[in-house]
Chain A
Amino acid sequence: TQLLEQSPQFLSIQEGENLTVYCNSSSVFSSLQWYRQEPGEGPVLLVTVVTGGEVKKLKRLTFQFGDARKDSSLHITAAQPGDTGLYLCAGFNTNAGKSTFGDGTTLTVKP
């Protein structure tokens, strides 16, 4: 069974602070996705990383895929209240033929 562990599970910060969320596994993934879920809605894809060591930026969000394609991080610079939500990582393994979701990090950004 492939597991994706996300940390921290909960994070509460003040507006303007920086933060990093981690997604770790002992398994290698073909690609890894980050989703954000706002209260009362379904998850929405933020980014997909495919190559080991890849870094992608989405405004104030920076995503990195580990060199060995087993882990990933999401860094948010100068967090805003609109960043509040549940952040989920999901790894896709070609051999297993499916995606595995982490349990998520619940982020609260206070004004």
Chain B
Amino acid sequence: NAGVTQTPKFRILKIGQSMTLQCTQDMNHNYMYWYRQDPGMGLKLIYYSVGAGITDKGEVPNGYNVSRSTTEDFPLRLELAAPSQTSVYFCASSYRKADRVRSQETQYFGPGTRLLVL
């Protein structure tokens, strides 16, 4: 299994340009996530999906859009790039396990896309 793959690894955009960050997972996970991580900081949730055809906003969705037409793919779209969107973007997928006592989630992350908006 390749796990979670992301393309491109690095991209420079000019202000106002648009682009799509690709994310694919081959683990048949229902849940997928997009995070951004600014230098020295933690993860901020942008959008997430609980299954094909279903997406929802996270903490910082403004300026981004997503779609989930298949279980495997979860692309993130930036329509009008702004300098504030300079960051490292991580895609993750997860499975959830539940027993009589507790439920838990394990997220698997891609290697990230480093985006610079000038």
| Contacts from A to B (Cβ < 8 Å) | 6, 30-31, 33, 35, 40-45, 48, 50-51, 86, 88, 90, 92, 94, 97-99, 101-104, 106
Contact = CB atoms under 8 A, between A and B. Distances in A.
Given A104-B42, A106-B40, A42 B111 contact: yes
Query: For this complex, into which size category does the number of interface residues on chain B fall?
Result: 20 to 34
B43 interface: yes
A43 B106 contact: no
A22 B98 CA distance: 26
A42 B102 contact: no
A51 B94 CA distance: 21
Given A88-B42, A103-B42, A104-B41, A31 B105 contact: yes
14 contacts: A31-B102, A33-B104, A42-B90, A43-B43, A43-B107, A45-B106, A45-B107, A97-B50, A98-B48, A99-B105, A99-B107, A101-B43, A103-B41, A104-B41
Contacts of B92: 42
A6 B4 CA distance: 27
B43 A51 contact: no
A42 B94 CA distance: 14
A42 to B, nearest CB: 3
Contacts of A86: 42
Nearest to A106: B40
Contact of A92 (B42, B45, B105): B105
B41 A31 contact: no
B109 interface: yes
A42 B101 contact: no
Given A99-B94, A104-B42, 6 more contacts: A35-B107, A42-B109, A45-B108, A101-B42, A103-B41, A106-B40
